[in-house]
Structure 1
Amino acid sequence: MEVEIWSDVMCPFCYIGKRKFEAGLAQFAHKEDVTITWKSFQLNPAMETDPSKNINQYLADIKGWSLEQAEQMNARVTDIAREVGLDYHFDQAIVANSWDAHRFIQLAKKHGLGDAAEERLFRAYFTEGKNTADHATLVELGEGIGLDTSEIEAMLVSDDYTDAVRQDVYEAQQLGVRGVPFFVINRRYAVSGAQQPETFQGALETAWAEWAQQNATLVSANESDATCTQEEGCVLPDSK
């Protein structure tokens, strides 16, 4: 059974959703039979990498907020992340375009290291304040998860995996994905947002029980506001 996860490296709820999905998967009786495939999604394709600016300042600038407002919002997200064991430091998070990070993930997927790449990039971005658009940084992160240095370097100076990233984005559009994280089970069931572990567990159990059914329709399970979208940015559950 396959679970596809559309995500962006700069999406705070994607990392939170990863943890909650992992908790739900851990309670699923057939977890050993689940294959996880990470899919690329860019929240802001036009974002220009700027190591001199952190995400708090970037949000204040593009939203027309005060710096204090941006810090307060991200402090709330930090609290949500802490509930699942994650340590966010938005004051250190560098404004970085995620295009090369997505190509890096596609390379890692080729070697069965897609999940490791996602985890390492999330931690680098949200916890360690690393520039995930910097090629030297990506080489360092890749070495840490077992990728070959020369292969990473060759990919970064080429157009390799461009088509793979674009294909993921196209598939998201065809599925009607408006925000991430977005989880699709067997192309039959979808869970949007950083849902609770029991929601993921229930979706997995439902998909497993209907494994043999044909021509099922993709449906959405308990859509959550805890997502990041290209139009609205990251939306807290009670901020609408």
Structure 2
Amino acid sequence: MKVEIWSDVACPFCYIGKKRFEKGLANFEHNKEIEIEWKSFQLDPTLPEEGAMKLPDYMARQKGLSQTEVKAMFQHVIQMADSEGIEMKMEQINAANTLTMHRLIQLAKTKGLGEIAEEEFFKAYFSGKDFTNIAILLEICETIGLNNAEAKEVIESEKFSDHVSKDIYDARTIGVRGVPHFVFNDKYTVSGAQSSETFLGALEKSYKEWKQNNNA
């Protein structure tokens, strides 16, 4: 049974939601029968690729908040992440376009490495690594297990841009307005970083229906 997950590497709730989903999946009796596909989504595709500002300044400008309000918002997110075993260095993050990372994740998917790619790019982004630097991107790709030459070719071209665009188009087609967005068996949806129990319930309900249909 397939579970599709629309996500942006720059979304803290996507990373938190990933960990909570994984907890629910670990407690699901039939987890070996679940196929997970990560889908690209961009919260702000207008951001420049060079990362001209840090995330606190970007958030203050984007949402019309003071730096004090941004820090309070970040602290709430950091506490949520910490409860899931994630360290988030929000003030060190570059506010830059995530398209290249998404294209590399799409490359990884063709090698059966989509899951590890998603995790490693989340980890890199929220640890404040400079993902606008080609050398840093290639280091992450090496950790994932991607071929250096293939990864470099993707970074220096527009390869897999159409895959990213299609994922975003598909998201809009089904009414996705924010991420993370989970679709179970092409039918049931869970939006946001819900509890592991919510994800477990969605897995059980959709799996039961999927099993009945496949045994019919």
Q: Which TM-score applies when normalising by structure 2? A: 0.95
Q: After the TM superposition, which residues 169-208 of structure 1 pair with which residues of structure 2 at under 5 Å, given as runs?
A: 169-208=168-207
Unaligned 5+ runs, structure 2: none
Q: How far off is 1:160 after superposition? A: 1.0
Cross-structure match for 1:124? 124
CA contact (8 A) 2:54 2:93 kept: yes
Counterparts of 2:213 and 2:173 in 1: how far apart (Å)? 22
Which residue number corresponds to residue 230 of structure 1?
none
Q: 1 or 2 for the larger relative contact order (CA 8 Å, sep ≥6)?
A: 2
C-alpha contact 1:96 1:131 (8 A) present in aligned 2: no
Residue in 1 that maps onto 2:43: 43
Q: Structure 1, residues 182-233: CA drift from partner, whole Å, max 9, x if none?
A: 000111111101010011001000011111349xxxxxxxxxxxxxxxxxxx
Q: Write the distance in 2 (CA, Å) between the matches of 1:69 and 1:96.
A: 21
Identity fraction in percent: 47
Runs of 4+ in 1 over 4 A off after TM superposition: none
Question: Per-residue CA shift, 1:109-165, capped at 9, x if unaligned?
Answer: 0001111111011111112x1122332221110011110000001111222111111
Q: Specify the alignment match of 1:10 in structure 2.
A: 10
Q: Is the 8 A contact 2:52 2:96 kept in 1?
A: no
User: Whose helix proportion is higher, 1 or 2?
Assistant: 2
Deviation, 1:68, is 1.4
| Residue 7 of structure 1: how far off its partner (Å) | 0.2
Cα 1:176–1:206 shift into 2, 3 Å:
same
* RMSD of Structure 2 on Structure 1 (CA): 1.3
Separation of aligned partners in 1, 2:122 and 2:80? 15
Q: Hey, which of these two has a bigger chunk of strand by percent?
A: 1
CA distance in 2, matches of 1:196, 1:92: 28
Look up the equivalent residue of 1:133 and give its one-letter code.
T
**Corresponding residue number in structure 1 for 2:138:** 139
Cα distance in structure 2, aligned partners of 1:38 and 1:135: 23
Structure 2 partner of 1:70? 70
Give matches, 1:72-111, under 5 Å: 72-111=72-111
Q: Residue 183 of structure 1 aligns to which amino acid in structure 2?
A: F
Deviates more, 1:78-87 or 1:44-53: 44-53
The residue type paired with residue 87 of structure 1 is E
Q: Quote how far apart the aligned CAs of 1:50 are.
A: 4.9
Question: Residue deviations 1:4-52, cap 9 Å, x none?
Answer: 1000010000000000000000010000111110000000000124545
3-state SS, counterpart of residue 90 of structure 2:
coil
Q: Which structure 1 residue ranges, 5 or more long, are not aligned?
A: 215-240
TM-score (norm: length of structure 1): 0.86
Q: Is the 8 A contact 2:51 2:97 kept in 1?
A: no
The number of residues matched between the two structures is: 213
Aligned partner of 1:19 in structure 2 is 19
In 2, Cα distance between equivalents of 1:52 and 1:166:
24
2:5 match: secondary structure: strand
**Cα deviations by residue, 1:55-82 (Å, 9 ceiling, x for unpaired):** 1111112222211111111111101111
Contact kept? 2:138, 2:152, Cα under 8 Å: yes
